[in-house]
Structure 1
């Protein structure tokens, strides 16, 4: 297909729902038509009770109806709507998905933490030249923290931690209403965060952070703006802002810093997590490219539309790289796994006319064939069941729930 394309993305997050529509002339650049943020905090109830309250679901559906109207007005030809940790964890998340489909006509795809990381990486590499070095990419949402080691080619590994800003706020606020005690609990809890040994033992080329909170922190710290719209936060300045936030009430944060109410309460937990990761990696500065899941989604659609074969190759390369690193973690026989994978893919391709399966199934077969024996790490006996367990408890970029 030939550009231009009018593409939209909807990100149903834990702290807000975000809409982005854009015109793509090429797969690398786009012009924003419209960007909207709906302050619907789905994570407030989910991270305490495990379910979405009916009133919050109604507001979310109303926002999606508005997004559907915007897509019609913006003459959108292709769109994708994704949902992250709040919907993923909600016991009644499927009810929300069905309501959105019924009332707004929008299909919602619930994505995994590793898929979030892949989409964010797609957007980040358009803003920052990752080159041949290995970078640590940190995305803090309302429910989770996605930490990835990546380079220009893709994600080497990623891991998800349940230390999102809203989750921390809700869980720790239940333990203490007194600000001083909350601050101590927050510091102690975040200090338990650990990241992959590769990032600890081999210093990354740099630390890149995404999310609405880090963009706000860039403004509060007076971060320098580089060419291409990338901010640079000095970690010393971040610590100074954290110290200032420690001593402020919610109302003082709103009045002193001009923060939105739904940002003023979560910015401190997020800042503490960012600082913790910067401290662990020894980073003296944090790059903030001001992109996230919604930008990653539109880039993903554009890549697929403009170069279907190239897009497929890039996605498979990212999956293969992540799967290989997972296999090495469990000391698999890489040569054997690769041989089985090539045989399986050859059979798949040769019988395509018979089974009629597509790229998604081929991608799943590739990862499954490569990693079919990793259960032997636990025990050779019934190792196929151990493999199933290990894969079900791992996250691979390119796969949803």
Structure 2
């Protein structure tokens, strides 16, 4: 058996994550992907970018330090290959390219700034493919800090996708254009309503809600539960969310905005349930990286 040690760094608008993944290769069998370690750091880049259009010196310094730490961790684990992607906040930061160069110089980590469509493609590269049923239609909803990606999946394949500049940090800071929700609603009505869809939710906020829902693992949340949970959380104070719901500080202030997006998408698409398989961009990054390595073998 051969063990490959891979890593993915996902730099989002609300937080960044390092996923270290071992891949077990056994002759005559499919590779086994083992999530060995996940390290999340709450560096909220969107708080800078969506207001000032650039990453502050303070957060740039924190980002550089975080990358140095990630590099040390990858060295300790013996990681052989990695991918590092940045999404919405870094895309929009006027000094994004400058910071990418600084990180490369200080830590050796090369970061690629990707588009919203690439984010959607990475999601479908995950084990999501083994989760969906070919005779069902799904609307995949990935809510991030700066953007939301909607992807229609029919017959087991991506039919179309669209990225919208609306996310939890953007809503928190009041930096969402008034036209975005109407545009999202129109896109869903024109492209999704002709299908009978179930939602698939991705992101830390929906994962947290699902974890404490009491629903059996693998089973979907009903729309009625999602709507009622949204109302409950919206009426709780920040302190109550920390104490009673055991939330991280950088989740407690944005979770209501994530649920706002999910409930609106559910209403507009006329979906009645949402599956939460707990997979994300970093999982897709690992799969993509592994495929690229195998192609070179």
| Structure with the larger strand share | 2
Report what 1:327 is aligned to. none
Q: C-alpha separation between the residues in 2 aligned to 1:172 and 1:10?
A: 26
Structure 1, unaligned stretches of length 5 or more? 174-184, 310-401
Report what 2:184 is aligned to. 193
Tell whether the 8 Å contact from 1:130 to 1:151 is kept in structure 2 after alignment. no
Q: Residue by residue, what CA displacement relative to the aligned partner does 1:291-311 show, whole Å, maximum 9, x if unpaired? A: 1011100011112222469xx
Q: C-alpha separation between the residues in 1 aligned to 2:224 and 2:127?
A: 24
Tell whether the 8 Å contact from 1:85 to 1:144 is kept in structure 2 after alignment. yes
The answer to whether structure 1 residue 219 and structure 2 residue 204 are counterparts is: no
- State the TM-score, normalized to the length of structure 1: 0.68
Report what 1:14 is aligned to. 13
The answer to whether structure 1 residue 138 and structure 2 residue 141 are counterparts is: yes
> What is the total number of aligned residue pairs between the two structures?
291
Q: C-alpha separation between the residues in 2 aligned to 1:162 and 1:28?
A: 36
Tell whether the 8 Å contact from 2:166 to 2:180 is kept in structure 1 after alignment. no
Report what 2:124 is aligned to. 121
**Aligned-pair CA distance for 1:78:** 0.9
Q: Residue by residue, what CA displacement relative to the aligned partner does 1:330-365 show, whole Å, maximum 9, x if unpaired? A: xxxxxxxxxxxxxxxxxxxxxxxxxxxxxxxxxxxx
Question: Max radius of gyration: which structure?
Answer: 1
**Corresponding residue to 1:236 among 206, 224, 237:** 224
Structure 1 consecutive aligned stretches of length 4 or more whose deviation exceeds 6 Å: none
**Corresponding residue to 1:39 among 42, 58, 62:** 42
**Aligned-pair CA distance for 1:239:** 1.0
Q: C-alpha separation between the residues in 1 aligned to 2:157 and 2:76?
A: 35
**Aligned-pair CA distance for 1:270:** 0.5
Q: Cα–Cα, structure 1 residues 159 and 166, in superposed 2: closer, same or farther, change >3 Å?
A: same
Q: C-alpha separation between the residues in 1 aligned to 2:182 and 2:79?
A: 45
The answer to whether structure 1 residue 303 and structure 2 residue 291 are counterparts is: yes
**Corresponding residue to 1:262 among 250, 253, 257:** 250
Tell whether the 8 Å contact from 1:10 to 1:18 is kept in structure 2 after alignment. yes
- State the TM-score, normalized to the length of structure 2: 0.91
Q: Residue by residue, what CA displacement relative to the aligned partner does 1:340-398 show, whole Å, maximum 9, x if unpaired? A: xxxxxxxxxxxxxxxxxxxxxxxxxxxxxxxxxxxxxxxxxxxxxxxxxxxxxxxxxxx
Q: Residue by residue, what CA displacement relative to the aligned partner does 1:41-86 show, whole Å, maximum 9, x if unpaired? A: 0000101111100100111111111110111111111110000000
Q: C-alpha separation between the residues in 2 aligned to 1:189 and 1:303?
A: 36
Q: C-alpha separation between the residues in 2 aligned to 1:142 and 1:44?
A: 9
Structure 2, unaligned stretches of length 5 or more? none
**Aligned-pair CA distance for 1:126:** 4.5
Report what 1:100 is aligned to. 103
Report what 1:250 is aligned to. 238
- Report the 3-state secondary structure (helix = DSSP H, G, I; strand = E; otherwise coil) of the residue aligned with 1:123: coil
